[in-house]
């Protein structure tokens, strides 16, 4: 018989075991509640190396979490921030972020000796919950009521499930004035008619729904909300649906930036979202780089991006990635252009190209997806076109169908573990390359008359530079501080007591020299928050 005092711990232990089994047997992505529980369990079982903080609560009542992985004081080491859930359609991101955190804590905790990780699992919890709703549809906004079509009414023209399948897909309307035709390669797909090839449109295409407000547009003012990935200051698209009243107007975007601006030790930000400069590095554009408001990655940063992209593609084994550099107001571009950090972004997964028996890939991305889905035995990838009676088109043939929402953006859940492992490997490689300031070749020489010459190489032993070119230009990132601490009886004859350095390239050094009058010890320090620091106590001769 169990002793009474042991009963509660016993059952709690059994409950944890069962919850672990359930997680390992998981067959689909985690909703807000399940993901939150995963995060809390991870923090509870790794309490000595983690800290879980609630940044804010969204207007929809969802908490925004920040999970810190560290050994000792998190701010004492250079840090990598991982931000996911920036786009509501990208439900892979939050799952990857938590799995990456779990991988680091379980298998690579030694990296925390030198690197801190700040992980933000889901910045769009209200939007990602649409994947788990009874009516599954894309919606990137939070829960704020918005008048997206600016007609004075709110949410008066939402999506309508016309074929009652719980999915919002597309409508095709047979109409000689339409611009679309069936694709010869796969007649389930419609494409725009090419008049230069003599093609004549026979269909109009809309998202599935009814023109509830009779303004000639479909589903343009449902529960839109403000999209996290449109609410940032770089390239902000004023007065467009979903962008907010002004940049960083929302609780979640403001809370994240307040956190980031206070963590001076962050040297890199990895965004798990639709933008992708890891598979396809950004290209330098001279005219864009010369503008007062810079719109191109700077030349040195472009070279660094290319170097890291090659590492990423080798480690993850990915290829044929679609190009996606940001559409303005997105978090990834803000983290580079306005925050000046080493900014890296990837969706983590995209539909692989499938070749037929003649070793040719489909040119149309939708056909390629359907070919891949067939190869992977994904049965619910496409909703077959079904004729319906539509009140807005009483005398026309209207069909509802198309590729099911979320399918082309996210892989089957069974692939998440492998995808996350490969990205963990890349992140660990990035941590190995982080900037690291050390003092090398310290030389002490007596030159007579109570004078001592001190010289030193301030060395960056990391492969990455201490600052991006954009970071040096922005003047926001803290510079490397090289400082001597003297007593009252000591005097600097030449050299400066404090010197600030804009940047030291990877595996490079800058030499410093001083002439000091006096006796005793002086302390020499060099470094900054995001590079680490080194110090030496030097006895004057």
DSSP element (H, E) containing 107: helix 92-107
Question: Does 457 lie in the same domain as 428?
Answer: no
Domain count, the chain: 2
pLDDT value of position 476: 84
Nearest to 527 by CA among 412, 404, 406, 436: 436
Question: Does 424 lie in the same domain as 441?
Answer: no
pLDDT value of position 314: 97
Question: Does 416 lie in the same domain as 295?
Answer: yes
Question: Does 120 lie in the same domain as 38?
Answer: yes
Question: Does 447 lie in the same domain as 423?
Answer: no
Pairing of strands 79-84, 266-272: parallel
Q: What is d(CA 427, CA 12) in angstroms, rounded to the nearest whole number? A: 34
pLDDT value of position 21: 40
Question: Does 479 lie in the same domain as 421?
Answer: no
Question: Does 463 lie in the same domain as 417?
Answer: no
For 454, phi then psi, to 5°, come to -115, 130
SS3 content of the chain, % helix, strand, coil (to 5): 30, 25, 45
DSSP element (H, E) containing 523: strand 521-528
| Domain-ending residue, one of 401, 432, 463 | 432
Q: What is d(CA 219, CA 170) in angstroms, rounded to the nearest whole number? A: 11
Query: What token pair was written down for 48?
Result: 């000595």
Query: What token pair was written down for 286?
Result: 């001279």
Q: What is d(CA 53, CA 4) in angstroms, rounded to the nearest whole number? A: 35
Would you say the pTM of this structure is higher than 0.85? yes
The answer to whether residue 238 is domain-embedded is: yes
- In terms of Cβ atoms closer than 10 Å to its own Cβ (0-12, 13-18, 19+), residue 224 is buried
The answer to whether residue 298 is domain-embedded is: yes
pLDDT value of position 222: 61
Write the CA distances from 368 to 134, 329, 351, 415, integer angstroms.
Answer: 28, 30, 8, 19
| Domain-ending residue, one of 400, 432, 464 | 432
Question: Residues with Cβ < 8 Å from 46, sequence gap 6 or more?
Answer: 105
Question: Does 94 lie in the same domain as 56?
Answer: yes
- In terms of Cβ atoms closer than 10 Å to its own Cβ (0-12, 13-18, 19+), residue 35 is buried
Q: What is d(CA 316, CA 352) in angstroms, rounded to the nearest whole number? A: 13
Query: What token pair was written down for 418?
Result: 């492998």
The answer to whether residue 146 is domain-embedded is: no
pLDDT value of position 93: 98
Here the CATH number for the domain that contains residue 459 is 2.60.40.10
Q: What is d(CA 163, CA 168) in angstroms, rounded to the nearest whole number? A: 9
The answer to whether residue 140 is domain-embedded is: no
Q: 469 near 343, Cβ under 8 Å?
A: no
228 alpha carbon, distance to own chain's centre: 12
CA torsion 149-153-159-161 (nearest 10°) is -150
Pairing of strands 521-528, 480-485: antiparallel
Nearest to 481 by CA among 464, 514, 458: 458
Q: What is d(CA 171, CA 187) in angstroms, rounded to the nearest whole number? A: 15
The answer to whether residue 384 is domain-embedded is: no
- In terms of Cβ atoms closer than 10 Å to its own Cβ (0-12, 13-18, 19+), residue 104 is buried
pLDDT value of position 10: 46
Question: Does 293 lie in the same domain as 252?
Answer: yes
Nearest to 232 by CA among 339, 127, 324, 118: 339
Write the CA distances from 159 to 27, 148, 192, 209, integer angstroms.
Answer: 28, 14, 23, 5
Write the CA distances from 537 to 155, 307, 460, 499, 501, integer angstroms.
Answer: 67, 37, 20, 18, 21
Q: What is d(CA 317, CA 313) in angstroms, rounded to the nearest whole number? A: 5
| Domain-ending residue, one of 379, 400, 432 | 432
Q: What is d(CA 158, CA 225) in angstroms, rounded to the nearest whole number? A: 12
pLDDT value of position 2: 44
Mean pLDDT by 10 residues, the chain (541 residues): 46 46 72 97 97 96 97 96 97 98 98 98 96 89 76 68 94 96 95 94 94 73 84 95 94 98 97 97 96 95 98 95 90 97 98 82 92 93 96 94 96 97 98 98 94 97 97 91 95 96 97 96 97 96 89
Query: What token pair was written down for 431?
Result: 């941590």
Neighbouring CB atoms inside 10 A of 342's CB total 26
The answer to whether residue 401 is domain-embedded is: no
The answer to whether residue 180 is domain-embedded is: no
Q: How many residues are present in the chain?
A: 541
pLDDT value of position 249: 96
Question: Does 428 lie in the same domain as 519?
Answer: no
Question: Does 126 lie in the same domain as 41?
Answer: yes
CA torsion 416-417-423-427 (nearest 10°) is 130
The answer to whether residue 20 is domain-embedded is: yes
Here the CATH number for the domain that contains residue 423 is 3.40.630.10
pLDDT value of position 140: 85
Question: Does 10 lie in the same domain as 116?
Answer: yes
| Domain span including residue 262 | 4-131+225-351+411-432
């Amino acid at each position: 018989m169990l002793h009474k005092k042991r009963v509660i711990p016993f059952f709690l232990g059994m409950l944890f075991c069962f919850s672990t089994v359930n997680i390992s047997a998981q067959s689909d992505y985690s909703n807000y509640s399940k993901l939150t529980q995963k995060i809390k369990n991870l923090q509870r079982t790794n309490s000595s190396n983690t800290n879980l903080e609630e940044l804010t609560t969204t207007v929809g009542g969802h908490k925004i979490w920040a999970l810190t992985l560290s050994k000792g004081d998190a701010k004492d080491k250079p840090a990598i921030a991982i931000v996911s859930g920036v786009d509501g359609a990208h439900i892979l991101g939050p799952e990857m972020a938590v799995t990456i955190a779990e991988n680091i804590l379980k298998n690579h905790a030694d990296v925390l000796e030198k690197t801190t990780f700040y992980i933000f699992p889901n910045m769009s919890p209200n939007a990602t919950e649409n994947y788990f709703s009874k009516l599954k549809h894309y919606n990137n906004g939070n829960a704020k009521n918005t008048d997206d079509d600016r007609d004075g009414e709110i949410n008066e023209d939402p999506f309508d499930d016309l074929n009652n399948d719980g999915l919002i897909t597309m409508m095709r309307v047979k109409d000689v004035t339409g611009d679309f035709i069936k694709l010869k390669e796969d007649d389930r797909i419609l494409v725009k008619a090419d008049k230069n090839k003599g093609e004549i449109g026979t269909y109009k295409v809309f998202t599935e729904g009814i023109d509830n407000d009779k303004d000639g547009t479909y589903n343009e003012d449902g529960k839109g909300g403000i999209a996290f990935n449109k609410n940032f200051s770089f390239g902000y698209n004023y007065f467009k649906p979903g962008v907010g009243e002004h940049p960083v107007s929302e609780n979640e975007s403001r809370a994240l930036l307040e956190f980031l601006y206070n963590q001076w030790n962050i040297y890199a930000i990895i965004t798990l979202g639709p933008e992708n400069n890891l598979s396809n590095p950004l290209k330098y554009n001279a005219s864009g780089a010369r503008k007062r408001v810079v719109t191109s990655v700077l030349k040195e940063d472009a070279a660094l991006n290319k170097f890291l992209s090659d590492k990423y593609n080798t480690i993850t084994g990915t290829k044929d990635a679609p190009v996606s550099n940001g559409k303005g107001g997105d978090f990834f571009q803000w983290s580079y252009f306005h925050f000046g950090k080493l900014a890296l972004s990837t969706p983590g997964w995209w539909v692989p190209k499938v070749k037929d028996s003649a070793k040719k890939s489909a040119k149309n991305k939708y056909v390629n997806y359907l070919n891949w889905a067939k190869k992977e035995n994904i049965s619910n990838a496409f909703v077959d076109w079904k004729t319906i009676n539509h009140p807005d088109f009483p005398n026309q043939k209207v069909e509802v169908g198309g590729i099911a929402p979320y399918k082309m953006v996210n892989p089957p859940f069974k692939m998440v573990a492998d995808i996350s492992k490969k990205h963990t490997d890349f992140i660990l490689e990035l941590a190995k390359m982080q900037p690291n300031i050390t003092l090398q070749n310290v030389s002490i020489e007596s030159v007579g008359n109570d004078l001592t010459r001190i010289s030193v190489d301030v060395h960056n032993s990391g492969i990455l530079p201490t600052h991006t070119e954009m970071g040096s230009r922005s003047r926001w990132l803290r510079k490397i501080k090289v400082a001597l601490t003297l007593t009252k009886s000591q005097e600097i004859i030449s050299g400066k007591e404090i010197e600030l350095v804009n940047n030291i390239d990877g595996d490079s050094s800058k030499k410093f020299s001083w002439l000091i009058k006096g006796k005793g010890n002086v302390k020499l320090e060099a470094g900054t928050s995001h590079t680490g620091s080194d110090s030496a106590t030097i006895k004057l001769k």
